[in-house]
A and B are shown apart, each in its own frame.
Chain A
Amino acid sequence: MDIDLEFVKEIISSAFILAGVFFMLVASIGLLRLPDFYTRMSAITKGATLGMGMIVIGIGVYFNDTEIMLKILAILFFTLITSPVAAHAITRTAIYKKVPLWKKTDLKEFQNYLQKRELDKDEVEDQLQKNSKRL
């Protein structure tokens, strides 16, 4: 019995591309519908990276060529490195700029963190004063 390898390749590639497009659509709907900036940010970062990666892998499987697969692995590598860094930088800017949070957000841990940081700052200032007295 013969297996048509071209057909198998096309099926695998189609499955990857359809899954990637599905994740991309979910990310876009999340961007449009979620209530505040931070939840939208989380929807984009995961959904778009996964969706784009799966589309690109699907095309790489279809082309069946070493050079193109290397370029596609480079695209995947850059995206997987840069996307979390960009998301972290944007969200940090949003915290500093005081972009409003959703009213149902649970802020208990964040406030504990802020209090702890304040305490740490006081300790550091105490240390600095002691040091200056000693000098």
Chain B
Amino acid sequence: MNIFDTTLLIAFFVLGVCLLLAAIRFAMGPSLLDRITAFDLIVANVIGIIVIYSKLTRDFELIDVALILSLFGFLGSISFTYYMLRRNN
């Protein structure tokens, strides 16, 4: 087992811990906006995990998934805030 594979395993483990921490904040966040920010962090985490997984399986098509996901996370948070602002007015 060389250095690079060890690095990827460590990265997988730590990114999993990050997902767990974000999920805790997602569950207990006092306001809806806290949950939206936690969702942002989860999307960034999942992009990192997908890119590392594409190296582990040698499946290069998965990078396209990360590309699409980086746009959809933005769309999600923007639409949430838009409808939150419109609901009172």
List residues of chain A with CB under 8 Å of any chain B CB: 10-11, 13-14, 17-18, 20-21, 24-25, 27-29, 31-32, 37, 40-41, 44, 48-49, 51-52, 55-56, 59, 62-63, 68, 71-72, 74-75, 78-79, 82-83, 85-86, 89-90, 92-94, 96-97, 99
B48 and A86 contacting across the interface, CB-CB below 8 Å: no
B17 and A28: CB pair below 8 A? yes
**A41 to chain B: closest residue by CB:** B37
Helix, strand, loop or mixed for chain A's interface?
Answer: helix
Residue in B17, B38, B48 whose CB lies within 8 Å of A52: B48
A37 touches B31 (CB 8 A): yes
CB pair A20–B36 under 8 Å, yes or no, is no
Interface contact B47-A52, CB-CB below 8 Å = yes
- Min CB–CB distance B25 → chain A (angstroms): 5
Provided the pairs A62-B4, A71-B64, A86-B78 are in contact, do residues A79 and B52 lie with their beta carbons within 8 angstroms? no
Q: Are A32 and B24 in contact (CB under 8 A)?
A: yes
Give, as a whole number of angstroms, the nearest-CB distance from B40 to chain A: 6
Q: How far is the CB of B83 from chain A (nearest CB, A)?
A: 10
CA distance A68 to B58 in the complex (A): 12
Give the docked Cα–Cα distance between A40 and B60 (Å): 34
Determine chain B's interface SS by DSSP, over half rule: helix
0/1 interface trace, chain B 9-38, chain A, CB 8 Å (1 if under): 011001101100110110000110110111
* B60 contacts across to A, CB distance below 8 A: 63, 68
B48 contacts A99, C-beta separation under 8 Å: no
Nearest 10 interchain pairs by C-beta: A82-B74, A28-B18, A28-B21, A14-B7, A48-B44, A10-B4, A93-B81, A55-B48, A86-B77, A52-B44
A25 pairs with B17, CB closer than 8 A: yes
B residues less than 8 Å from A14 (CB atoms): 3-4, 7
Is the CB–CB distance between A29 and B21 below 8 Å?
yes
Are A59 and B40 closer than 8 Å at their CB atoms?
no
- Known A17-B7, A28-B18: A59·B45 in contact at CB below 8 Å: no
